[in-house]
Amino acid sequence: MNDLTPPAPAAGCSATPVLKERGQHEVFCGLTGIIWLHRKMQDAFFLVIGSRTCAHLLQSAAGVMIFAEPRFGTAILEESDLAGLADAHEELDREVSKLLSRRSDIRQLFLVGSCPSEVIKLDLARAAERLTQKHAPHVRVLNYSGSGIETTFTQGEDACLAAMVPVLPETDRRQLMLVGALPDVVEDQMLDLVRGMGIEDVCVLPAPRAEAEMGVGENTVYALTQPFLGDTHAALTRRGARHLPAPFPFGEEGTTAWLQAIAREFDVPQERFEAVTAAPRARARKAVARAAQPLDGKSVFFFPDSQLELPLARFLTRECGMQAVEVGAPFIHSTLMRDELALLPDGQVISEGQHVDKQLDRCRAASPDLTVCGLGLANPLEAEGLTTKWAIELVFTPVHFYEQAGDLASLFARPVRRKDLLQLEAAE
């Protein structure tokens, strides 16, 4: 369809054996997804049923994001709730009624399961049904689990979206659904590109509001903008929708390939595709070339965090001239990652899961130029002399599609540049 894409490597990583590890995982649980999901879905409230630990986690992760009335909270289980289960449901109903009477603007309420509520087997699915009936039609109550025992970090978004799919209305419309929560500015660019190719019937999951008209059915095709949406992918397939496999829209190459998959499906003429993408592609290439200079020839090591690792490693190796040492992901969905693995040059370790101490040993031995890891590891590794990029920022910052490609490269380049700039040791 176009001749500008760099050729795929001879083999790629499709056949590379994946190192699977068990042990201590230094990762967030799925509850963390609430922090960005609640900003995206403006009429939703996320009620975690959990312990003080869960509330403390949300607070620590939300950091300075203090809102007059944040649309999330934790119903903290107390001693009495653990004594008898019947009681817990009454308690939950009471807290929900209290909450909804205070917040009349709420249209969707998510009961979010946590480790404690899963372990005591509190039936939140039943609670959601009961509460939906009680508060219909004003409020729709759904449930999903963001527990650490079941979900890692961004999988919380997957679980949330997957819970929404079964209740979407049925539609026969031939439409394109774009799945994954993106920053508003990125979402607008994405929609402009897609509509620019002449595709009019487009919807985005999650929508900013519950009443946004959206259905799903056999004539729906969907593309994923985020790599961590395995369960949502399965739920959409169950509703008869068809997936458009593609690399994820990071960098110029990823964005173009992602758009191409859609263009192919909707028979967009080559000239039109070129007209829409040529200018932003050139811009993206220029921006990346400039921003990625400090990264050229450097090595990178990814600790598992968000499932964005493989697409990002592909971007860094193919567009920024880096060499990957190890790419760790909390979970690798072989179907969704097929295109990414095919593009990723061979030669690095690909690992799934984690044994953090062993992985740290490998990282120290490799002494990479840049280590992408969580905040619990970043400062300790800096103190050991390694340069780090904390991974969580990649989930909160606009990084997808053409206009952000340069910013994405900068996120990785900045710590490398800073290392060169700082002269902290006394000259001798």
- Known binding-site residue numbers for [4Fe-4S] cluster: 29, 54, 115
We find the least distance from the C-beta atom of residue 130 to other proteins, in angstroms, to be: 16
Helix (H) or strand (E) holding 263: helix 251-265
Residues in contact with other proteins by the rule CB under 8 A: 23-32, 47, 49, 51-53, 55-57, 59-61, 64, 66, 68, 70, 72-79, 81-82, 88, 91-92, 94-95, 98-99, 115-116, 118-120, 147-150, 152, 357, 374-380, 382-383
Best CA proximity match to 189, nearest among 279, 320, 309, 288: 279
For other proteins, which is the closer residue by CB, 76 or 244? 76
We find the least distance from the C-beta atom of residue 111 to other proteins, in angstroms, to be: 12
Best CA proximity match to 326, nearest among 347, 305, 302: 302
User: How far is it, in rounded angstroms, from Cα 54 to Cα 32?
Assistant: 9
We find the least distance from the C-beta atom of residue 115 to other proteins, in angstroms, to be: 4
For other proteins, which is the closer residue by CB, 34 or 190? 34
- Residue 427: count other Cβ atoms within 10 Å of its Cβ: 4
User: How far is it, in rounded angstroms, from Cα 414 to Cα 37?
Assistant: 27
CA separation, residue 353 to residues 23, 32, 114, 306, 329 (Å): 8, 18, 20, 11, 6
For other proteins, which is the closer residue by CB, 75 or 193? 75
We find the least distance from the C-beta atom of residue 176 to other proteins, in angstroms, to be: 34
User: How far is it, in rounded angstroms, from Cα 275 to Cα 258?
Assistant: 16
Give the number of C-alpha atoms closer than 13 A to the C-alpha of residue 165, restricted to the C-beta side: 26
For other proteins, which is the closer residue by CB, 48 or 223? 48
User: How far is it, in rounded angstroms, from Cα 166 to Cα 173?
Assistant: 17
For other proteins, which is the closer residue by CB, 105 or 200? 105
We find the least distance from the C-beta atom of residue 338 to other proteins, in angstroms, to be: 25
Specify binding-site residues.
29, 54, 115
Q: What values do phi and psi take at 326, rounded to 5?
A: -145, 140
We find the least distance from the C-beta atom of residue 39 to other proteins, in angstroms, to be: 15
Best CA proximity match to 287, nearest among 315, 313, 258: 315
Look up tokens 């620590």; give the residue.
Answer: 60
For other proteins, which is the closer residue by CB, 172 or 357? 357
